Structure 1
Amino acid sequence: MFTRLGQFTFRRRRLVITVWGALTLLGVLAAAGVGSSLTSDVDTAPHYESQRANRLLSRAGGDDGHIYAVAQGARPPDVAAAADDVRHLRGVAHVQDGIRSRDGRSIAVDVAFAKGQSDEERSAAVDAARDRLRRISARRVVVGGDLLQDEEFSAQSQKDLQRGEAVALPVALATMIVIFGGVVAAGVPLLIALAGVSGAFIFLLATTALGDVSVFAVNVATMFGLGLGIDYGLLMVNRFREERAAGLEIEHAVERTVATAGVTVAFSALTVAVALCGLFALDVPALHSIAAGGIGVVLAAMAAALTLAPALLAVAGRRIGVGRVTAGVAGCHGYFARIARLVQRRAVPVILVVGLGLVVVATPLLHASFGRPDGRSLPRSSPSRQLWDIGHAQFPAQVAEPVTVVARTSSTDPRLEAWVDEVRGLPGVRSVAVDDRSGMSVVDIVPAGDGQSEAGQRLVHSLRRDRPAFPVLVTGNAAEMVDFKAALFGRLPTALAIVALATLVLLFIMTSSVVVALKALVMNALSLGATLGVLAWVFQEGHLSGVLGFESTGSLDVLAPVLVLLFALGLSTDYEVFLLSRIKEVYERIGDNDTAVAEGLQHTGRIITSAALLIVVVFAGFATGGFLVVKELGLGLAVAVVIDATFVRTLLVPAAMKLMGDRNWWAPRPLRRLHRLTAGPGKPEVRAATFAP
């Protein structure tokens, strides 16, 4: 099949390039359509308790969000005049002004917006109120709030996207020119990456028909699309140059490239897509659109690598020379082969030192704590970040985030009064207020610390564990965080089990070995554990904050570890497929495990290192952004690639395969027979180990 695909793309190369050109243009147009459907909401599924309580509160009346203004050095009459103007704006529910700061130098205004408005009407009301509040005569006026914070999350995400592309693309192109020694060869992987990202935007636009798309889906799709597209393009170009160096004409070199490297790309893309499917098992709707974007970009990058890349290679022809990537890869006498031989002679010490080292690096993860994005996730230039800092320093009572209990009973119910007295005596409770609303009682309990603090979450667990005699639902920031962690981490083992099983099946299909597939999962676990440990060490504990340009919030964004875990699992398997496919190819030819490992590493060492370098450039470009979540994703994935391409693929894999010897290629007889049936006619099989039962 892949040989026929190579023949087709060679013969219809201009048609293939034209079609991909049209798809890329369509993807650019789709990007604009996706932008209008983005949301920064990362709520849990609607059946969780906090979401059910929020729906009750919404039906009981109240407002539809707030914005706040803090005027420093302003005259009270000027602030009152602005507040009165805002009070008369269409769509404003109520305004509270004259709120003095702790030091008496600032005045705050709280604007609440009426329910029942369309998104356009509410947006117009928010803009009008913000514009009037900004015109208060004062030394400094800062306007922010939950409604504006969501807007700033989206805007900062888009800004980081543009910044990441501006940093990554030129550096990646320059790096590829150095790697390939020519502009034409360097341009092919970049075109594959751009085509893959364009395909992902078309996929995301289709996803908007089912609902809003997470703002993070665009960043992830772009980041991942550039990285994988460059990876796949690099592999195809490198194999084409090897085949040309071996004396094949352009047509046969294209066919051979698709039949060999193309198979590797297909298996790699499938394993990455399977890893991302794990996000659908988690009970967080925002992650589903991120998964859709990730899967879309993987499939688009695969399609571009299997069709556009060979078409471009056919057109470029002799302008893509045999160059330095392929130089010296033959046999077992190159740099990476020598490393493999050295590791094989010291297999046990290498496994102990590197394995234990990765375990030690993972230890900060044991003390990890998690939070959701808030004002601190934005750069200091952001109004919402400035308002967060000022509010917590000067207006602690106004920014307190209570745990809210919705009680289905009257505020005069003696049982409620007795329960409220008990709650006031709970450890960590600062204040309690009761409000009667539409036949329900709303109890606001202010805990010590901020809304996502451990104290607040402990209070939520306590309130839910020891419920009163009347029906209650617990919500608020702390309760939403508790539910979010339950939705995310409660189903994470199931998601990982599904991903691991599917990855095992795909690796077995590729290698016909159970041992190699299991070893790959163990290696991935070590690599990913170390990656998440680095993430906790940097962002939770605040190390390297000056170098990376961020301020630690004392926790990891709750989405970042899960996204890094599943996306990095896909990338780790990606490199495993690159290496194993070449080792298997050599083993089928010569039947010697140690030589196959050394020669396989020699063939792929430079390409894996080059691909890792390029993908680190891409991810590091996004790590320069101002949105803390995007920075965590960029750095986390870059670290994952570095660890995997160096310590794991170059050291641990050769050492482990040395110890296993021919056992690497073992599989139970029933599975071997199944593999033979599915291998297809004429396809060589890995010979069974002599000790196989």
Structure 2
Amino acid sequence: MPVLLAMSSVFAAMGLSTLASHLLPSTDTTNSVILLIGLAVGVDYSLFYIRREREERAKGRGHLDAVEIAAETSGHAVVVSGIAVMIAMAGLFLATDVVFSSLAVGSILVVAVSVIGSLTVLPALLAKLGRWVDRPRVPLLWRLSARRAGAPRIWPALLRPALRRPVLALVISVGALLALAVPAAGMKMKFPGMEDLPRTTPAMQAYDRLTAAFPSTGTAHYLAVEAPAADAPRVKAALAALAREAGGDPLFAPVEADGPDIEQSADGTVSVLQVATPYHTRTDEARQSLDRLRDVYVPEAMSGLSNVDYAVGGDVAGSVDYAAHIKRKLPLVMAFVLILTFVVMVLTFRSVVVALTSILLNLLSVGAAYGLLVLVFQGTWAEGLLGFTSMGSIVTWLPLFLFVVLFGLSMDYHVFVVSRIREAVQRGVSNRDAVAYGITSSAGTVSSAAIVMVAVFSIFATLSTIDMKQLGIGLAAAILLDATIIRAVVLPSVMTLLGDANWWAPRFLRKRQPARHASQPERELVSVH
């Protein structure tokens, strides 16, 4: 059922994104991202709902009562989680990039459809099917899950160190994640070039045969100049002088015998000079040649002209400029996502502390994922293991996209787990036992959802293109870290240390909790000693 509901959300979102493409530009990668995000959140939300409904039926409730309780608890968590994911994906609009805007539209649509389906179609199906929702049973898996229907054993054992010695557990776990995040400080960003594309595809095999027959090295910069038509001869002379001067620089190729390659528009207002360099696009020398052209040769050549506009483009400039654009926009996107997520978490849990810890834990997870990407893909040690050739950098668009996706998806787990902890606290359970109950009671669902996510993301890691491989490895590793170290060690350690301070909020945010009805039975809590 979770897979069917997730796929229905994916197909619905693809249809809606087609309609949205009449208003906003769409790219050919939008449907791939819809599939990626849709499977992840669709399966997650369905699992949250179904596992809670099963849990309530196992306690003796009728199936309609179980569905109502699941709607009140897991349904609320799904709404909050969906809002958090959509806020994160909306941050892509601030990148002012057509591709990111297209991905934002597709992601927001599929999350919205998944949330609506989880609040309408899923509870209706559960109410209609009743106990038949567990039919047909997979014999071996059903026996294993039936054995676990009582008090869980594995997760209490895993939680015990964090609850008994929270300071030590916190220092070790956070220290390990920070150590993993340190390499991210040396992250380099570049666009993949022709040399980074897989040579097994027919297109690249044809390209290799063509370059073997007609050898060429290096790349070229393109200087475009716009000036009044009356100044066209002076512009052409200035460009020719620039080409000759650059030709004597070892960073550039010598000028051809028939003179520099200068083209002018029919009206004489636009002139384009091609300046060749013998170095490939992603080399340091190619970057140095671009800097020297922009900082030295072009300003000198244009200094004697008035009313001119000029710019240097080409493959090297495109890679450098886009990386600089992403670096400028990333802090803005991060601030937008962090602030709005903080507001949503404060309003949901009525706690400033819970909101702050949520953001800090997710930032820790994202930082560790960045560091892991740098370790794996900027070096060469993992080339044989993962089947790629290192380009010495991370694909330019990946850090920003990874941030919003990981931050949004990490909120899935966090909202679900903290919601269970708060349930116990509101029933008068001690903070330590509430943390143990919340994590152990949600561990099966979180683990199952994480396995599904990692499996989906790992598919991308098997693709031959370097950008998809980096995306798959980054997402899979981050979700794995988040569902294990963050949720099993860091979160319980922090919440145990903070105690009642977890639920602190200014007076205007506090609301009086309704008294529990006498007929409402207590939840069965799991204590870890």
**Superposition TM-score, scaled by structure 1 size:** 0.66
Summarize deviations over 1:469-501 as a string: whole Å, max 9, x none.
133211111112222123322111011100001
1:233·1:309 contact (CA, 8 Å) conserved in 2?
A: yes
Alpha-carbon distance, 1:209 to partner = 0.9
In the TM superposition, 1:101-180 aligns within 5 A as none
Q: 1:382 aligns with which of 192, 201, 204?
A: 201
- Choose the corresponding residue for 1:557, options 381, 391, 395: 395
CA distance in 1, matches of 2:89, 2:145: 31
Counterpart check, 1:460 vs 2:290: yes
Which of 170, 176, 180 pairs up with 1:351? Answer: 170
**2:76 aligns to what?**
263
Which of 222, 244, 251 lines up with 1:404 in the alignment? 222
Q: CA deviation at 1:411?
A: 5.8
For residues 649-678 of structure 1, give each alpha carbon's deviation from its aligned partner in whole angstroms, at most 9, with x where no partner exists: 111011111221111111122333xxx39x
Distance across 2 between alignment mates of 1:527 and 1:644: 6
1:329-348 matches, within 5 Å, as 334-348=153-167
Q: C-alpha displacement at 1:537, in angstroms?
A: 2.1
Shift of 1:516: 1.3
> Using the alignment, how far apart are the partners of 1:290 and 1:435 within structure 2?
39
- Determine the C-alpha separation between the residues in 2 that align with 1:539 and 1:388: 25
Mapped contact 1:192–1:233 kept (Cα < 8 A): yes
Show the counterpart of 1:289: 102
Checking the alignment, whether the CA contact within 8 Å between 1:223 and 1:622 is kept in structure 2 is no
Which residue of structure 2 lines up, in the alignment, with residue 192 of structure 1?
A: 5
Counterpart of 1:654 in structure 2 is 492
Structure 1 spans left out of the alignment, 5+ residues: 1-187, 685-693
Task: Name the aligned partner's letter for residue 442 of structure 1.
Answer: V
Q: Is the 8 A contact 2:67 2:127 kept in 1?
A: yes
1:544 Cα shift?
Answer: 2.9
Aligned to 1:316: 129
SS in 2 for 1:248: coil
Q: Is the 8 A contact 2:182 2:371 kept in 1?
A: yes
Once structures 1 and 2 are overlaid, which stretch shifts more, 541-550 or 342-351? 541-550
> Contact 1:219–1:630 (CA<8 Å) still a contact in 2?
no
Segments of structure 2 that go 5 or more residues without pairing to the other structure are: 136-141, 518-529
> Which range moves more in the overlay, 322-331 or 293-302?
322-331
**Quick one: structure 1 residues 542 and 319, their matched pair in 2 at CA, closer, same or farther if it must change by over 3 Å?**
farther
Is the contact between residue 404 and residue 443 of structure 1 (CA under 8 Å) also seen in structure 2? yes
Aligned to 2:246: 423
Letter in 2 for 1:608: V
CA contact (8 A) 1:375 1:384 kept: no
State how far apart, in whole Å, the 2-side matches of 1:268 and 1:667 are: 21
Aligned to 2:190: 371
Q: Tell me: higher relative CO, structure 1 or 2? Use CA pairs within 8 A at least 6 residues apart.
A: 2
- For the residue of structure 1 that corresponds to 2:159, the secondary structure is helix
Q: Which moved more, 1:210-219 or 1:489-498?
A: 210-219
- Whole-Å Cα distance in 1 between the matches of residues 241 and 62 of structure 2? 88
Do 1:411 and 1:434's aligned partners in 2 also have CA atoms closer than 8 Å?
A: no
Is the counterpart of residue 231 in structure 1 residue 69 in structure 2?
no
Q: How does the TM-score come out when normalised to structure 2?
A: 0.86
Deviation for aligned residue 1:237? 1.0
Deviation string for 1:358-395 (max 9, x for gaps)? 12222332232222244345432213323554566675
Question: Structure 1 or 2: larger strand share?
Answer: 1
What secondary structure is seen at the aligned counterpart in 2 of 1:210?
coil
Distance 1:388 1:506 in 2: 51
Tell me if 1:588 matches 2:426.
yes
**Aligned partners of 2:243 and 2:275 also within 8 Å:** no
Cα gap change, 1:206 to 1:511, in 2 (>3 Å): same
The partner residue of 1:665 within 503, 514, 520 is 503
Q: 1: CA distance between counterparts of 2:460 and 2:477?
A: 13
CA distance in 2, matches of 1:325, 1:505: 38
**Residues 327 and 377 (structure 1 numbering): CA distance in 2 closer, same or farther, change over 3 Å?**
farther
SS of 1:405 mapped into structure 2: strand
Relative distance call for 1:437 and 1:545 in structure 2 (3 A) is same
Distance 2:191 2:212 in 1: 21
Identity of aligned residues (%): 33
Match in the other structure for 2:460: 622
State the secondary structure of the residue aligned to 1:247: coil
Q: 1:388 to 1:566 in 2, by over 3 A?
A: farther
Q: Does 1:570 align with 2:408?
A: yes
The secondary structure found in structure 2 opposite 1:632 is helix
Decide whether the 8 Å contact of 1:513 with 1:667 is kept in 2.
Answer: yes
The corresponding residue for 2:330 is: 492
Letter in 2 for 1:429: F
Q: Give distance in 1, aligned partners of 2:60 and 2:436.
A: 24
Q: Residues 189 and 455 of structure 1: is their aligned pair in 2 closer, same or farther, counting only changes over 3 Å?
A: same
Q: What is the deviation of 1:623?
A: 2.1
Q: Is the 8 A contact 1:238 1:326 kept in 2?
A: no
Counterpart of 2:55 in structure 1 is 242
Q: 1:600 aligns with which of 410, 416, 438?
A: 438
Indicate the larger mover: 232-241 or 340-349: 340-349
SS of match in other structure, 2:320: helix
Q: Deviations over 1:312-355 (max 9, x none)?
A: 22232112359665865777x74323432321222222222221
